[in-house]
Amino acid sequence: MSETSSVRPLAMARLDPGVTVTAELAIRTVPLLSPMGGTPGKSPTVSQGVTVTAHTQEVNIQDLERTWLDEAIRLATNSVANGGGPFGALVAKGGEIVAIGNNRVTSTLDPTAHAEVSAMRAACQELDTFSLEGCVLVTSCEPCPMCLSSALWARVDRIVFAADRDDAAVAGFDDRKFYDLFEKQPASKWPLAIERLDLPNRTAPFDAWVAKTDRIDY
């Protein structure tokens, strides 16, 4: 990150029944997804588009997000049947789904293969960029601290989720425990030791970065 970069606020919303709808988005086409069950991490196939007439052009953004969230929950449920963890996510931009992902921690021996990270990685490949500015991350469960940080790094505009850290805890997952570490526990009480060794050349990588005139800031 460069010194001139600023951290943009990232909106988080939990969609529950009865949420007051306030925002509207005008779009022309609402993509319909083919039935889920495609290859995890690959872009979904848009099988059909519904053209909205000029008179009904304003499609409620929250209705659209509810549809996406429903897909994320379906991905999560399918993930269990396919040997993954019970989490699903997708990235959408401009009213269309860009990429999907599901949890593949145990199947790929990758502790970072959470649904949100998988979806964001796939979306970046699909959009050929490292920035997901203008995108919405839709996930079946509240992002863990790693996924939330990843979304910040990816410059995602907004996160929408359904189940929360308490729901995940009931199923035996540590999302809430890790949030509690960040929010309530000093690092000295973490189950992980963190130590700083002060070496004289510690800033050499940053010096090289700052001196690099053709660097790509992120």
Q: Which residues bind Zn ion (CB under 5 A)?
A: 114, 144, 146-147
Which amino acid is it at 36? M
User: By the 8 A CB rule, do 102 and 76 touch?
Assistant: yes
Burial class (CB in 10 A: 0-12, 13-18, 19+), 196: exposed
Output the smallest distance, CB 191 to Zn ion, in A: 18
Least separation in angstroms between CB 109 and Zn ion: 16
Calpha distance 6→9 (Å, rounded): 9
Active site residue 116: yes
Q: Which residue, 103, 125, 98, 106, is CA-closest to 116? A: 103
Residue number with CB closer to Zn ion (64 or 117)? 117
The residue count of the chain comes to 218
Q: In the complex, what is the shortest distance from the CB of residue 133 to Zn ion, in angstroms, rounded to a whole number?
A: 21
Active-site residue, from 96, 116, 142, 195: 116
Do the beta carbons of residue 95 and residue 27 sit within 8 Å? Answer: yes
Q: How many CA atoms lie within 13 A of 182 on its CB side?
A: 10
Nearer to Zn ion, 92 or 113 (CB): 113
3-class state of residue 141 by DSSP: strand
Whole-number Å distance between alpha carbons of 102 and 89: 6
In the complex, minimum distance from the CB of residue 193 to Zn ion, in angstroms, rounded to a whole number: 22
Q: How far apart are CA 102 and CA 139, in angstroms?
A: 9
Closer CB to Zn ion, residue 147 or residue 159?
Answer: 147
Nearer to Zn ion, 71 or 142 (CB): 142
Q: How far is the CB of 164 from Zn ion (least distance, A)?
A: 13
Nearer to Zn ion, 96 or 167 (CB): 167
Instruction: With CA atoms as reference, report the closest residue to 43 among 120, 117, 151, 110.
Output: 120
Residues with a catalytic annotation lie at 116
